[in-house]
C-alpha cells in the first residue's frame, strides 16, 4: 500500500495559457487516479481515450485486479484461496456485501435462492417462438429481459430491498433459463428445478435429467462446475460489467441491465472466446492445420486470425484464473477417468506462444477462456452453451456492481463525450 508521500497530492495540467490543479484519488491498494471530473468546465477540453484503457469510470469496493502482477481478489480475498475453499453461493454473498457470510447467513441465502428457482409457466411458452438452432446466448438474453415483464414492480425507484429481491430472483432462475435454452434446442422436456439439491447439482439436473430416467448429479462434476462459476464471478469493469452499469445508469431495471450484459459478453473478444477456443482446438485436431501453422496465422495481421483465449486488456502477465483452470483440467480429467486430446494441443500452443517474440513483446498470456472449455467439455456441457455458463458465473458480479452503482452517491447517468470529425456546417 502506498503512503501519501509516495505520490503527488495533485496533478498540474498546463493547457494554453491556463494551468489547473487536478485532485488525485488513491485506492486502498495504492492505485492512483487523476480526477478530471471538472476538466471540461475549467478548460473547455475533454480527454480522448478509445476503449477506455486509461479511464476509471467508478470507485468500487468489490474486486481488485493487478494485471501486471497477475493478482485477482474478491473483496480482498485472493482468488486462489476462494477457488480452493469457497462455494459459488458464498462468493455471490461476498460480492453482494463485501464480507463472507456466517453459516446462518449462507443457509438463509441458499434457502431464499432455492425458493425462487421456478419460471412462470407462461414464460416457458416464450421458448417455443424461438428457432431451435438459435444461439443460447440470444435466447438467454431475451428471456432475462422478459423477466421484467413478470416482475414489473422491480424498478430502481423502489427501496433497496426490492433491488435485492430482483437480484435473488435472477441468481435463482438463471440456471433454469439457461437449461431451457439447451432443452429447447434438443427437443427434450423442460425439467422443473429440484430445490433439495445444491445450486450446482440443480444446474446439472436441469441440464441433463429427463422425466424417463433417474439422474444423480456426479459430485466431481458438480465441484468442477462450482469452481468454474467461482472463477468467473467478477472481474471489475470489463466490457459486460460496464455495460450492465451503463444500462443501469439510466435507471433501467436489473433484468434489462443484465440482458444487455449478456449480449456484451457474447462477443468473441469477451466471453464468447471460450466457444471460439474449443472450435480452434478442434480445427487443429481435425488436421486442418498444425499448431505451428496456426500460430503463424495468429501473428499475421492480414489473416484476421487471433490466438483465441490469449491476451487481455488488463493482464500483462499470466491470468491467475487460467493458472487455476490449467491445473483443474488435469485433475478433472483424471478424476473422471477420461482423456481429452485438446488439452495437449492447448498446452502445445501455450508453449509455443510463451517462447515466441511476438507474444512475449506484447505480453500475451493465456486468459480464463483458454482452458475453461476443456473442463466444460469433460463435464458434458455443449460447446454453444459455454458462454452461457460464463454468464451464469458472472451474474453475481454484474448484480453486485449494479447494486453498488445505485448505492454510490457519485453515480450519474453514463454519457461519454466525443470529438466530432464529420463535415462542418453545410446547407441542404
How is the beta sheet containing 71-74 ordered, strand by strand?
A: 63-66, 71-74, 77-78
Which of the ranges 20-28, 115-123, 141-149, 303-311 carries the binding residues for ligand CMC, by CB under 6 A? 303-311
* Cβ-based nearer residue to ligand CMC, 193 or 272: 272
DSSP helix/strand/coil, 78: strand
Report in angstroms how near the CB of residue 98 gets to ligand CMC at its nearest: 21
Report in angstroms how near the CB of residue 280 gets to ligand CMC at its nearest: 10
Q: Are 63 and 236 in contact (CB under 8 A)?
A: yes
* Cβ-based nearer residue to ligand CMC, 77 or 358: 358
How is the beta sheet containing 32-34 ordered, strand by strand?
A: 10-15, 18-26, 32-34
| Pick from 264, 257, 256: nearest CA to 239 | 264
Q: Are 270 and 239 in contact (CB under 8 A)?
A: yes
Q: Are 368 and 386 in contact (CB under 8 A)?
A: no
Burial (CB count <10 Å: 0-12, 13-18, 19+), residue 409: exposed
Selecting among 369, 406, 408, 427, the annotated active-site residue is 369
DSSP helix/strand/coil, 239: helix
* Cβ-based nearer residue to ligand CMC, 132 or 362: 362
The answer to whether 376 contacts ligand CMC (rule: CB under 6 A) is: no
CA distance 8 to 12: 10
Sole binder of ligand CMC in the list 25, 46, 160, 269 (CB under 6 A) = 269
**Quick check: is 35 catalytic?**
no
The dihedral sign for the CA sequence 255, 386, 113, 195? positive
Which of the ranges 138-146, 197-205, 214-222, 366-374 carries the binding residues for ligand CMC, by CB under 6 A? 366-374
Binding marks (x or -) toward ligand CMC, 48..87, rule CB under 6 A? ---x------------------------------------
Binding marks (x or -) toward ligand CMC, 197..236, rule CB under 6 A? --------------------------------------x-
Selecting among 232, 235, 312, 319, the annotated active-site residue is 312
Q: Are 163 and 154 in contact (CB under 8 A)?
A: yes
The answer to whether 373 contacts ligand CMC (rule: CB under 6 A) is: no
* Cβ-based nearer residue to ligand CMC, 106 or 305: 305
Residues 6+ apart with CB under 8 A from 377: 278, 340, 342, 383
| Pick from 280, 240, 289, 254: nearest CA to 366 | 280
First vs last Cα of the chain: how many Å apart? 60
Site for ligand CMC in 325-364 (CB under 6 A): 362, 364
Sole binder of ligand CMC in the list 181, 270, 393, 404 (CB under 6 A) = 270
Report in angstroms how near the CB of residue 14 gets to ligand CMC at its nearest: 30
**Quick check: is 232 catalytic?**
no
The answer to whether 238 contacts ligand CMC (rule: CB under 6 A) is: yes
**Cell 407462461 found at:** 122
**In the chain, how many H helices and how many E strands?**
18, 6
Sole binder of ligand CMC in the list 73, 135, 184, 312 (CB under 6 A) = 312
Kindly list the residues in this chain that would bind ligand CMC in the complex (CB under 6 A).
51, 235, 238, 269-271, 273, 298, 306-313, 362, 364, 367-369
Return the active site residues. 312, 369
Amino acid at each position: 500500500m502506498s503512503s501519501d508521500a509516495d505520490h503527488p497530492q495533485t496533478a498540474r495540467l498546463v493547457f494554453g495559457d491556463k494551468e489547473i490543479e487536478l485532485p488525485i484519488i488513491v485506492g486502498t491498494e495504492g492505485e492512483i487516479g487523476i480526477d478530471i471530473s471538472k476538466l471540461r468546465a475549467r478548460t473547455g477540453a475533454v480527454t480522448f481515450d478509445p476503449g477506455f484503457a486509461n479511464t476509471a469510470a467508478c470507485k468500487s469496493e468489490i474486486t481488485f485486479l493487478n494485471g501486471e502482477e497477475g493478482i485477482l481478489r474478491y473483496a480482498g480475498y485472493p482468488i486462489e484461496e476462494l477457488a480452493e475453499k469457497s462455494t459459488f453461493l458464498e462468493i455471490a454473498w461476498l460480492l453482494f456485501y463485501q464480507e463472507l457470510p456466517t453459516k446462518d447467513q449462507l443457509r438463509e441465502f441458499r434457502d431464499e435462492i432455492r425458493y425462487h428457482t421456478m419460471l412462470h409457466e407462461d414464460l416457458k411458452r416464450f421458448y417455443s417462438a424461438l428457432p431451435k438452432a438459435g444461439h443460447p446466448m440470444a435466447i438467454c438474453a431475451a428471456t432475462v429481459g422478459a423477466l421484467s415483464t413478470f416482475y414489473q414492480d422491480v424498478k430502481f425507484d423502489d427501496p433497496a430491498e426490492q433491488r435485492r429481491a430482483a437480484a435473488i430472483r435472477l441468481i435463482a432462475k438463471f440456471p433454469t433459463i439457461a437449461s431451457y435454452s439447451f432443452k429447447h434446442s434438443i427437443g427434450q422436456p423442460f425439467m422443473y428445478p429440484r430445490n433439495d439439491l445444491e445450486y450446482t447439482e440443480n444446474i446439472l439436473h436441469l441440464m441433463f435429467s429427463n422425466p424417463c430416467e433417474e439422474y444423480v448429479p456426479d459430485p466431481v462434476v458438480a465441484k468442477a462446475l462450482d469452481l468454474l462459476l467461482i472463477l468467473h464471478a467478477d472481474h471489475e469493469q470489463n466490457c459486460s460489467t460496464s455495460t450492465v452499469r451503463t444500462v443501469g445508469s439510466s435507471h433501467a431495471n436489473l433484468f434489462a441491465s443484465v440482458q444487455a450484459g449478456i449480449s456484451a459478453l457474447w462477443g468473441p473478444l469477451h466471453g464468447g472466446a471460450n466457444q471460439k477456443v474449443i472450435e480452434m482446438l478442434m480445427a487443429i485436431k481435425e488436421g486442418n492445420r498444425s499448431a505451428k501453422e496456426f500460430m503463424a496465422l495468429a501473428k499475421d495481421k492480414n489473416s484476421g486470425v487471433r490466438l483465441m483465449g490469449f491476451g487481455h486488456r488488463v493482464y500483462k502477465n499470466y491470468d491467475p484464473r487460467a493458472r487455476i483452470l490449467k491445473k483443474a483440467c488435469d485433475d478433472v480429467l483424471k478424476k473422471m477417468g477420461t482423456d481429452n486430446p485438446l488439452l495437449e494441443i492447448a498446452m502445445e500452443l501455450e508453449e509455443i506462444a510463451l517462447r515466441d517474440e511476438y507474444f512475449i513483446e506484447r505480453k500475451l498470456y493465456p486468459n480464463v477462456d483458454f482452458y475453461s472449455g476443456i473442463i466444460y467439455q469433460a463435464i458434458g456441457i455443449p460447446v454453444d452453451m459455454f458462454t452461457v455458463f460464463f454468464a451464469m458465473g458472472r451474474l453475481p458480479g454484474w448484480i453486485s456492481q449494479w447494486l453498488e452503482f445505485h448505492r454510490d452517491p457519485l453515480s450519474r447517468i453514463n454519457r461519454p463525450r466525443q470529438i466530432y470529425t464529420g463535415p462542418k456546417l453545410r446547407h441542404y
